[in-house]
Amino acid sequence: MAATAAQRLVIENCAIATVDADDTEYASGHVVVAGTRIESIGPGPAPEGLQNVVRRVDGTGHLLTPGLVNTHHHFYQWITRGLATDHNLFNWLVALYPTWARIDEPMAYAAAQGSLAMMARGGVTTAMDHHYVYPRGAGDLSGAIIRAASETGVRFTLARGSMDRGTSDGGLPPDFAVETLDGALAATEATIDQYHDDSFDAMTQIAVAPCSPFSVTTELLLQGAELARRKGVRLHTHGSETVEEEKFCHELFGMGPTDYFASTGWLGDDVWMAHCVHMNDSDIDAFARTKTGVAHCPSSNARLGAGIARVPDMLAAGVPVGLGVDGTASNESGELHTELRNALLINRLGSHREAALNARQALRLGTFGGAQVLGRAGQLGSIEAGKVADLVLWRLDTLAHASIADPVTALVFGAAAPVTLSLVGGRPVVEDGRLLHVDEDAVARSTRDQARRLARIAAEG
């Protein structure tokens, strides 16, 4: 029996930024989607005579880009937004760890729904969550987070985090918020076995992700790296975020964060780290040489006063760099498309000034750069035939953008652009700014209720 021909969706008459290796752009072009994949792309309207076309989208007044890729987040923080707003990282963590340690499965699910809804509505088609708080008796937190991602319809990486260094061992989290070494490793391996999909079109992937040098033991880093490589999954953690972390590593390990990570097997092309704000030339060279990736989180870095990451220098050296929202307790907006603008503006405050980043480099960070960091550059992050059809159609003909001649400049420098259509694997997840698969109003009510419940439980001690 002959195979059934894939149904086609056509988007045409729009500006297109492919973010391919040549930065190919079309002032007015088309994309043909066949099933879950991009079939063709080119200038002008779609070819005549296409078969099995089930939908045509007129993109007049719009810009089509690859879907945005988020490379660092903490979904659970959606229900602790707006707290400790004038703290640096270490004081912020000390203030919030006791509350976070009270989360349970209903809270984690609601917080994941809120985080995912906000990102998807703003053009994110691939999300990730670094979840590392697993209180005893809290339920199936990983399963709840993955379920929320599946319901929203976005592609997802769960970085299954862990902490095993509590305050009694010189760490920052309270002892009741950490796992044992063996417990963390066993739970991480079980999560990989249950959920990780390494196929081309994978919707769910798992990474091994001990939290940070100041919340995990050296043994957890060593054995976590061994576990990840034995299972063939990626590795993720926080690195070089603040001057306080630098001091902590020198006092505890006798070396800076990058050298410490190198000593534990945590540099490599299967590793990406969040923040990497305080990197010297030697650190950047080590990341470039090993192709270790970076999740740049400009708004969170600014919120916590962490500093300005040397993104232009990293890119010049060949370090893979993507963008991250970070947790919404340090970036209350929870949006990635605003990070395109913030990455550009904040990096221009650094030594490179106006030459630090341009609009197209910022768009690349949020799309192809993120795909590189997550190890999926062969499948997503650019508009090319054969890749998965993760696409976003941004409306640029309204008051906010209509007088900006260049569409990429409008998207990056201008106000947050509304999303007319977002596709994940060719399947619509957003239409005219509204989510299609979850009820935003119901999610808002649920997150409010769970935030109040968590605050009440934390206050009771």
Residue 329 sits in a domain of what CATH number?
3.20.20.140
Among 346, 373, 400, the domain boundary falls at 373
Residue recorded with tokens 């963008």? 323
Nearest to 380 by CA among 205, 201, 156: 201
Residue 445 lies in a domain: no
CB 63 within 8 A of CB 77: no
Residue 453 lies in a domain: no
pLDDT at 173: 81
CB 304 within 8 A of CB 87: yes
Half-sphere exposure of 278 (CA within 13 A, CB side): 16
CATH number, domain at 42? 2.30.40.10
The number of distinct structural domains making up the chain is 2
Long-range contacts of 193-199 (CB under 8 A, 24+ apart): 195/142, 195/146, 195/158, 196/231, 196/233, 198/232
- Statement to judge: residues 301 and 420 lie in one domain: no
Residue 203 tokens read as 């919707």
- Statement to judge: residues 57 and 84 lie in one domain: no
Q: Extract the runs of DSSP E, i.e. beta strands, from 67-119.
A: 68-69
- Statement to judge: residues 295 and 345 lie in one domain: yes
pLDDT at 129: 98
Residue 379 lies in a domain: no
- Statement to judge: residues 318 and 404 lie in one domain: no
Give, for 191, the enclosing helix (H) or strand (E): helix 181-195
- Statement to judge: residues 31 and 148 lie in one domain: no
Residue 368 lies in a domain: yes
Residue 383 tokens read as 């508009």
Among 321, 342, 373, the domain boundary falls at 373
Phi/psi for 369 (5° steps) reads -60, -40
- Statement to judge: residues 89 and 133 lie in one domain: yes
Residue 214 tokens read as 């100041």
CB 269 within 8 A of CB 290: yes
**Residues with Cβ within 8 Å of residue 23, at least 6 apart in sequence:** 17, 360, 364
Residue 412 lies in a domain: yes
- Statement to judge: residues 275 and 398 lie in one domain: no
Task: State the pairing for strand pair 271-275/293-296.
Answer: parallel
Residue 129 lies in a domain: yes
- Statement to judge: residues 314 and 402 lie in one domain: no
Q: Look up residue 266 and give its DSSP letter.
A: -
Nearest to 295 by CA among 317, 318, 271, 272: 272
Give, for 96, the enclosing helix (H) or strand (E): helix 89-100
pLDDT at 174: 80
Q: In tens digits, what is the pLDDT along the chain, a chain of 461 residues?
A: 345 678 999 999 999 999 999 999 999 999 999 999 999 999 999 999 899 999 999 999 999 999 999 999 999 999 999 998 999 888 888 888 889 999 999 999 999 999 999 999 999 999 999 999 999 899 999 999 999 999 999 999 999 999 998 888 887 788 878 899 999 999 999 999 999 999 999 999 999 999 998 889 999 999 999 999 999 999 999 999 888 888 989 998 999 999 999 999 999 999 999 999 999 999 999 999 999 999 999 999 999 999 999 999 999 999 999 999 999 989 999 999 999 999 999 999 999 999 999 999 999 999 999 999 999 999 999 999 999 999 999 999 999 999 999 999 999 999 999 999 999 999 999 999 999 999 999 999 999 999 999 999 999 97
CB 190 within 8 A of CB 239: no
Please give the residue range of the domain that contains residue 94: 68-373
Which ranges in 264-418 belong to alpha helices (H)?
Answer: 281-290, 298-303, 311-317, 337-347, 359-364, 370-373, 407-413
Residue 112 lies in a domain: yes
- Statement to judge: residues 282 and 327 lie in one domain: yes
- Statement to judge: residues 249 and 284 lie in one domain: yes
pLDDT at 2: 45
What is the CB neighbour count within 10 angstroms for residue 383?
Answer: 26
pLDDT at 1: 39
Residue recorded with tokens 């707003």? 85
Among 328, 343, 373, the domain boundary falls at 373
Residue recorded with tokens 């119901």? 442
What is the distance between the alpha carbons of residues 18 and 24, in angstroms, rounded to a whole number? 6
- Statement to judge: residues 176 and 206 lie in one domain: yes
- Statement to judge: residues 335 and 192 lie in one domain: yes
SS3 of residue 259 by DSSP? helix
What is the distance between the alpha carbons of residues 210 and 364, in angstroms, rounded to a whole number? 28
Residue 380 lies in a domain: no
Q: Look up residue 201 and give its DSSP letter.
A: T
Could you write out the three-class secondary structure of 368-410? HHHHHHCCCCCCCCCCCCCCECCEEEEECCCCCCCCCCCHHHH
